[in-house]
Amino acid sequence: MLPSLFLPSTEQSTVIATTAIAGAALFLLHHLLWKKHPLDVLPGPPSPSFLFGHVLETKGSIMKWHATVDYPEPFLSWVKQYGGAVHYREFLSHLVSVTDPKAIQHILVTHAANYPRGVGIRRMFEDKMFGVGLLSSTGAEHDRQRKMLNPHFSQAQVKTFVPIFLCHARLCCDTVLAKAADTQTPLNMSTVFQELTLAIIGRAAFGFAFDQHPQAHASYERQQQALPIWIMLGQIFVPKFSFFPIPQLRKYQTAQRDLGHLMQTVIAEKMQKNQPMPDDDAAYDLLDLMLPSTTSDEALVHTMTFMTVGHDTTSSALGWVFAMLATRPAIVARLRREIAVVMESHGGALASWDAIHELEYMTAVIQESLRFNTVVNHIMRRVAEADDHVPMADGSTIFIPKVVTLTFVSRELILAGEGTGMDVNLPALHRNPRHWANANAFVPERFVQGTPEWIADEALRGTKHHTFVYMPFAFGAGNCIGQKFALAEIAAITATLIREFDFGLTKDANTRHLFVSPIMRVANLDMTVRRVPSSGPGA
């Protein structure tokens, strides 16, 4: 039989398909890179690369903050030069970095339904947390989860966890820190804080003692290890990438599986006991509180979320607090005086929420540390689901398009995919001189109402509140549900440790910003530990 003159051979089909794909790719590149984009009307830096856009300036600079690039550049310079809405490009994605408070309010609160978290980042957290939870749900499902979980993070409930914070902080003082002080051995305090906060979150989240289960501890540590940037990008952009048979991912996959089995066992045991909830204020863990109103699968996702996110952010925040205090003895002395006064009014001990809550200057120090060294680099990227006009503080508006429209001859092609990516860069927001006086200085007094520093910031903002210019825990429906828990934990640990020990930086310490996605850690918090004399000005 003669071959058909009208049906191409396999070889011809391959050539035709390759040509078609290449032609389509060139067409898309022409449209996306040469044709004027709707966002080009916004101010922004010129693109340094035809292919990469600004990605080497953005992602590349973040990865070098610990070594050669000043934090938080280039984002702060962009804000100063181009204002509160900056257009830039990463590869083919056109993005807008927003620091204008009115625009942030619009995106995160008043029109938040039009700006869900991006599909890629939601998918990554869904894989990592064993299902859809607070970091990966949207719309009505997210609202349902928040409504169910909010009571477990209320002030009344957080009060019951304070004894856990203080107990573990006390144990750290009596063992790890006492040994270091007595032997004059420097400590990597980042490691100390990671161990301490893991012990606390294990107990508070699901009643588990990691220090008594070394295999579980090792699995968690392996699951938390930093991955190469290309793998992190794959987890965001490629469905189920975390489970690909890639050598760098195999340890992560095994650790995640082991950790999941452990948590499922704990959940099954708790459900089998079916203990009634007490009427008093006993400190039941979060899993105990959740189980009566959720399924075991949901409980696994939520517990994993609280443990992973709560541990990483709190340990990093503690590292920054101690990095700042190490070179500011006057602030430490004032904190110790405040602690002594509060202890005297509470029977000689810091043993309750009420006592911790009275440490007003301590709260100001923590808040300033979260401003000056923001733990999370940016709020999870939002995407526009529909065209929108976003209001700005100066009364103008900016147009945010949903989709890219390609016109070819007489046909119109609508690209499937996400809308414009909206980023809120927190370090640039928190160091913006339009909102903060002396923005590049560590000044806790700016968070003490009525001080000259508070008044100076207030004059710049034009309002008494910090809303939408200070957001270490984000804002709106997607804010951090555990912020009360985290602030109380940081205050309890800091007060307990600095009351008994002085901490100094060694010659090997590096207090620049190390990015371990999505957290900013102290690059090397190598510290000396010395006991505080029982009497004298430091006591």
Rounded distance, CA 202 to CA 213, Å?
A: 11
Residue for token pair 């109402």: 449
User: CA 470, CA 371: separation in Å to the nearest integer?
Assistant: 7
Answer whether residue 12 shows pLDDT above 60: no
Length of the chain, in residues: 539
How much is the pLDDT for 513?
Answer: 96
pLDDT of residue 8: 43
pLDDT tens digits, one per residue of 139-178: 999 999 999 999 999 999 999 999 999 999 999 999 999 9
Of residues 279 and 232, more confidence is placed in 232
- The C-alpha atoms of residue 521 and residue 312 are separated, in whole angstroms, by 9
Does 415 have pLDDT greater than 70? Answer: no
Measured distance CA(469)–CA(439) in Å, rounded: 12
Q: Tell me the mean pLDDT in the region 376-394.
A: 93
Q: What does the pLDDT average to over 127-148?
A: 91
237-246, Cβ contacts within 8 angstroms, sequence gap of 24 or more? 237/120, 239/123, 240/127, 241/124, 241/127, 242/124, 242/127, 242/128, 243/127
Residue 107, pLDDT score: 96
Which tokens belong to 119? Answer: 């599909």
Is the pLDDT at 20 greater than 60? The verdict is no
Distance CA 398, CA 100 (A): 11
Mean pLDDT to the nearest integer, 167-190 = 97
What is the identity of the amino acid at 209? A
- Domains present along the chain, CATH in parentheses: 37-531 (1.10.630.10)
Per-residue pLDDT at 538 exceeds 70: no
Cβ atoms of 453 and 368 closer than 8 Å: no
Percentage of residues of the chain with pLDDT beyond 90: 57
Q: Could you read off the pLDDT of 448-497 as tens digits, one per residue?
A: 999 999 999 999 988 878 889 999 998 888 889 999 999 999 999 999 99
Output the CA angle 253-257-263, nearest 5 degrees. Answer: 145
For residue 384, the model assigns a pLDDT of 93
DSSP tally for the chain: helices H, then strands E: 21, 13
Q: How far apart are CA 100 and CA 107, in angstroms?
A: 11
Q: What is the pLDDT of residue 233?
A: 67
Evaluate whether 205 touches 307 at the Cβ level (below 8 Å): yes
Hey, how many other C-beta atoms are within 10 angstroms of the C-beta on 536? 7
Residue pair 104/468 in contact by the 8 Å Cβ criterion: yes
Quote the pTM value.
0.87
pLDDT value, residue 45: 97
pLDDT of the residue at 410 = 37
Instruction: Please report the pLDDT score of residue 236 as a whole number.
Output: 66
Would you give the end-to-end CA distance of the chain in angstroms?
A: 100
Instruction: Note the pLDDT tens digit of each residue in 30-40.
Output: 555 556 788 99
Confidence at residue 366, expressed as pLDDT on a 0 to 100 scale: 99
Dist CA 466 CA 452 (whole Å) = 16
Write a three-state SS string for 250-304. Answer: HHHHHHHHHHHHHHHHHHHHHHHHCCCCCCCCCCCCHHHHHHHHCCHHHHHHHHH
Match 């600004």 to its residue by tokens. 54
Kindly report the average pLDDT of the chain as a whole number. Answer: 86
Q: What is the mean pLDDT of residues 59-86?
A: 94
The band of 260, judged by pLDDT with boundaries at 50, 70 and 90, is confident
Is the pLDDT confidence value at 2 over 90?
Answer: no
pLDDT band at residue 93 under the 50/70/90 scheme = confident
Any binding-site annotation on 172? Answer: no
pLDDT of residue 5: 35
Residue range 107-126: mean pLDDT, rounded: 89
Q: What's 31's DSSP letter?
A: I
Average pLDDT over residues 7-12: 46
Question: Are 484 and 366 spatial neighbours (Cβ–Cβ below 8 Å)?
Answer: no
62-66, 341-345, 523-527, range with the lowest pLDDT: 62-66
| pLDDT attached to residue 32 | 52
Structure tokens at 475: 């804002």
Q: What is the pLDDT of residues 422-447, one digit of tens each?
A: 999 999 999 999 999 999 999 999 99
Q: Which DSSP letter does residue 53 get?
A: B
Question: pLDDT over 70 for what percent of the chain?
Answer: 87
So what's the pLDDT on residue 244? 82
Mean predicted confidence (pLDDT) in 253-266: 87
Alpha-carbon gap, residue 486 to 259, rounded angstroms = 23
Q: How far is Cα 484 from Cα 306, in angstroms, rounded to an integer?
A: 13
Q: In what order do the strands lie in the sheet with 85-90?
A: 85-90, 93-98, 421-425, 378-383
| pLDDT tens track for 274-290 | 655 544 445 578 888 88
> Under 8 Å CB-to-CB from 206, ≥6 apart: which residues?
263, 266, 267, 285, 286, 287, 303, 307
DSSP reduced 3-state for 349 = coil
Q: In this predicted structure, which of 3-7, 127-131, 168-172, 286-290 has the lowest mean pLDDT?
A: 3-7
